[in-house]
A and B are shown apart, each in its own frame.
Chain A
Amino acid sequence: MEEFSILIGGEAGQGSRKAGLLLGKILLEWGWQVFIYDDYQSLVRGGHNFSLIRASQKKSLAVDFSLDLLLALDKKTVELHRQKLKEKGILVYSTSKISDVREGLGLPLEKWVKEAGGVSLMENVALVGAAAKILGISWEVVEKVIKEEFGKETEEKNLKVAYLAFGSCKTLLKIPKLKAGRQILLTGNEAISLGLIKAGMNTYFAYPMTPTSGILHFLAEKQKEAGLKVYQLESEIGVVNAALGAGFAGSRAAVGTSGGGFALTTEGLSFAAQAEIPLLIVEGQRTAPATGVPTYTAQSDLFFTLYAGHGDFLRFLIAPGDAQEAAFWAGEALNLAWEYQTPAILLVDKQICESTFTVEEAIFSKIKSRKLVLANNDGEYLRYKNTSSGISPLAFPGEKGKVVKVNGYEHDERGLTVEDAEQVKKMQEKRLRKFQKMKEVVEKLPAVNIGGKKNSQTALVVWGSVKGVGLEVAERRGLKLIQPVVFQPFPEKQMKKALEGVKKVIVAENNALGQLAEILPKYGVKVNSKILKYDGRPFWLKELDEKLGNIGN
C-alpha cells in the first residue's frame, strides 16, 4: 500500500480535529508521511467539521476525497461523505449519535466512554483507539501519542477510553509499519512560530484573526520557555505600531494577521520603510474581500501585499509553499528584515497556516543568522548615515553617548526633519541603493523552486500552498513545476533560468483574478493558460489533474 486516506468528522465541539491530529501523530509514529487538511466553519458549536488525513510512503502535501476509512462522530459526516468511500473503504460510526445507518461498522463509543468514567467529548479518543486497531497499529504507539497529547489530569481517562475501544475492535485494513525519519507533525502556524524563535524573535504582537491566531496561541503558550514577550493589543494598528516601537528599541518583533488586519497594518508598513525599522509581518490569507469566508482559504492578497503602503519602497515579500518552507522562510525573512532594516512580509494562507504537515526537524538548522551593521563609537551617531550600500549602522535607545533619532518624515542623516529638494532626493536615493542590495540578496536565496519533470516543455507555475498539489500533479503528468517563492524583490534571474526550454506556461492559483498570471508578464513570462479556483477550498488532487487534462500537455 503506497498511501491511504481517512476522513474524521463531527459537529464543532465534538473534537474531530483533535481526533484527526491524534490519528496523524499515531500514523507518523508508525512511519508514515502525514498531511491533514482541516475544514471547519466560523462557529463554535454545531455545523460540520472534518479532518482529512492523507498518509503516504512518499511525502505528500495535498488531499483527495477517495477514502479508505470514514470515521463519523455524527450523522452529517456519514451523509456528506459516505459516497467518497472507495469500493473497499470502511465506514465507522458512533452508534450513540447514529442509529439508522445500515452499512459499515457501528461502535458503542458512548458505552466505552462511560465504562472508563470519561465525559462525552472523549468519544473522539474512543474513535481514534478503534481506528488504530482497525489499521493494525500496535497499542504502544497509541499509548505514547495519547500520553504526549494530554495533560496529567485527563491522560488516564483518555487512555482507558482508547484502550477499551482498541481492545473491542478487529484489524480490517492492515497497514505496514515503516521506518520513520526525524520528522514531526506541525501546522503551518506552529512551523512559522518555531522558525521565528529560531531566528531570535523577541516580541510578538497580534490581534486575533483567522487563520494566524494559531501563531498567537502557540507563542503565548511558549513565551516563558522561549524567553518571548507576546502581547494581544487593541487593534492591528496598535499591533504594527507597537512592533515598530519594539524594533526601534532593538527587539526582534513580528506581527501576524490576515488580509483584513493587514489592511490596517499598511500605514505602519510604509512607516517601517521610511524610518528603516526592521519588521516582520505574517499575512495569512483567507477567502476575501472583506470578512469573506473567514475559515477558508484563498490566494487573493498577492497584489495587496506587493503594493500595500504609500510611497516608493520595496519590501521583502515571501510566499512559502508548505509548513517546512514556512518555517525556513519565517526565520530567513526576520533575519533579512534586520540585515536590511526594512519590512518583510511572509505571505501564507489558511491552507498552510492550519493544515498539519510532516516537517523534517533539520529545516530549523538551515536558518542562519545574518550579520547586522552596528554603529561604533566614533563621533556623533547618525541613524541615517549616507553609506554606499544605503544601509546605515544601527544603534538602539539606552546606548550611552548616542542620540538615536528615528523619523517618519523625510529626514537628514541625524534623523531630523528636512523638506529641501536636495536632501529629499539624497535620502530617497540612499534607500534606492538599499533596495538594489535587497534585489542582489534575493538572487542568492532559493527564491524559485523547481520540481516535476525538469526537462518538460510545459511548465505548471504555482505559488504558495498550491505547491503541494501542483507538485504531485506535475510529477504524475510529467510537467515541470515552477514555484516562485520570493515576490519582492522579484528573482528575475532565477525565474528566467527556471523557464529555459519551456514553451508553454500554465498557471494554477487560488483566486479569481489570476494575480500571479497578471504579474508574470511584467518579468517577461508569457502565460498560456490559467486554472483558477475561488470557492474557499484548496485544489484537490484529482480536480487539478482533470483541469490540466483538459488543457492538454
Chain B
Amino acid sequence: MKNLETSAIKTWCPGCGNFGIINALSEAILETEEKIGRENFVLVTGIGCHGKIADYLNITSLYALHGRGIAVATGIKIANPKLKVIVCVGDGDAYDEGMEHLIHAAKRDIPITVLVHNNRVFALTTGQATATSPVGFKGKSTPEGSKERPINPLKLMWAAGAGFIARGYAGKPDHLTFLIKKAIFYPGFAFVDILQPCVAFFNTYEFYNQKTYVLPKTPQDKEVLEKIEEWNYEDGEGKIPLGIFYER
C-alpha cells in the first residue's frame, strides 16, 4: 500500500473509520489498476474529515467545495469518459448540502463511483447533526436531541434510479474492498454508503459490530426495498444488512 501514500501526515483521530476506508480504497485501486491504469484514476472529494483522503492518496485528485464533489465528478466524466472517477464524499456533503447533485447523478446514470463516508455527524465542524443522524442525536446544535427523522440514503438512491446500490462498513475493510471493486467496474452510476464510526463525535463501532451482517446474496428486485428498509438509520432497531442491495 506504501506506493499510494503521499508525504502528508494523516490527521484523522486514532481509530477513525476513515482509516478503514482509505485502506479498502487503496487496496481496490491497487487490485484494479492493471486493467484501468494508475493515471486514469481521478479522486474527487468534498469537504469534511473524509476529504483529507485527497491529500493522503498519491493519485490525481480534485479537492472540491463542500457538497459539490459529485457535480465536479460529473463534469470530469463528461469531459473525458476514459477516466475512472471515484468520488469520496461525506454524509453532510452528499445528503445535506449536495443532495441535488447526488440525486441527479443517479438519475443521469453518469458512470462514476460515489463512496459516502457516512459517520452520521458533522465531525470536522466539531459535532452537529446531519441528515443521517438518528432521532435524539445530541450534537452541539441539538443539545436537546435531534427531533428530525434520518434519511435512509439507500432508499433515496433507489427512488432516484441508481443502478448500483451498496452499503459497506469501515470496520469490515475486506468486504468494503470487494464492494468498491464491484462499484469501480459497474458501467453506470455506482453508489456505496459506508458506515463510518467517528470516535470523537459519534462512536458507533460497538453498535455496528453487533448489528451489521453481510447479505448472503443480492436481493431479487421485488425484495430490494424491503432489504433497504430493514434498517432506517435509527438506533435500537434490528439488524443492519451490508452488501450489494441492487445491481441493474
Contact = CB atoms under 8 A, between A and B. Distances in A.
Given A245-B44, A398-B82, A416-B8, A403 B58 contact: yes
A251 B72 CA distance: 13
A398 B83 contact: yes
Interface string B71-82: 111111111101
B39 A397 contact: yes
Contacts of B58: 403
B160 to A, nearest CB: 11
Contacts of A402: 39, 60
A433 interface: no
Given A399-B39, A400-B39, A416-B8, A271 B44 contact: no
B233 interface: no
A237 B68 CA distance: 8
Interface residues of B, number: 36
Contacts of A398: 39-40, 60, 80, 82-83
A245 B74 contact: yes
Interface stretch (A13-21, A226-234, A510-518, A531-539): A226-234
A200 interface: no
Contacts of B172: none
From A267, A397, A401, A407, name the one whose CB has the most chain B CB atoms within 10 angstroms.
A397
B225 interface: no
A416 B74 contact: no
B104 A271 contact: no
A397 B78 contact: no
Contact of B79 (A249, A267, A404, A409): A249
B174 interface: no
A37 interface: no
Contacts of B82: 398
A397 B83 CA distance: 8
A417 B63 contact: yes
Interface string A224-255: 00000101011101100111111111110100
Contacts of B40: 397-398
A262 interface: no
B63 A407 contact: yes
Interface in B28-77: 37, 39-40, 42, 44, 52, 54-55, 58-65, 68, 71-77
A242 B75 contact: yes
A242 B72 CA distance: 4
A213 interface: no
Interface in A198-240: 202-203, 205, 229, 231, 233-235, 237-238
Contacts of A242: 71-72, 74-75, 78
Nearest to A277: B62
A468 interface: no
Given A238-B71, A245-B71, A417-B8, A408 B63 contact: yes
B6 interface: yes
Contacts of A439: none
Given A203-B78, A243-B75, A245-B74, A234 B39 contact: no
B54 A203 contact: no
Contact of B100 (A202, A238, A401, A416): A238
Nearest to A205: B75
Given A245-B73, A398-B39, A409 B63 contact: yes
A405 interface: yes
A268 interface: yes
B80 to A, nearest CB: 5
A82 to B, nearest CB: 50
Given A244-B72, A245-B73, A401-B39, A231 B63 contact: no
Interface of A: 202-203, 205, 229, 231, 233-235, 237-238, 241-251, 253, 267-268, 271, 275, 396-409, 414-417
25 contacts: A203-B75, A229-B78, A234-B104, A237-B68, A237-B71, A237-B100, A238-B71, A241-B101, A245-B77, A245-B78, A247-B75, A247-B79, A248-B72, A250-B80, A251-B79, A268-B68, A271-B68, A397-B76, A397-B83, A398-B40, A402-B39, A403-B60, A404-B61, A405-B54, A407-B63
Q: Which 9 A-B pairs have the closest CB atoms?
A: A245-B75, A242-B75, A241-B71, A251-B79, A246-B79, A249-B79, A245-B72, A245-B76, A234-B104
Given A205-B75, A245-B62, A251-B80, 5 more contacts: A243-B75, A249-B83, A253-B75, A268-B65, A405-B54
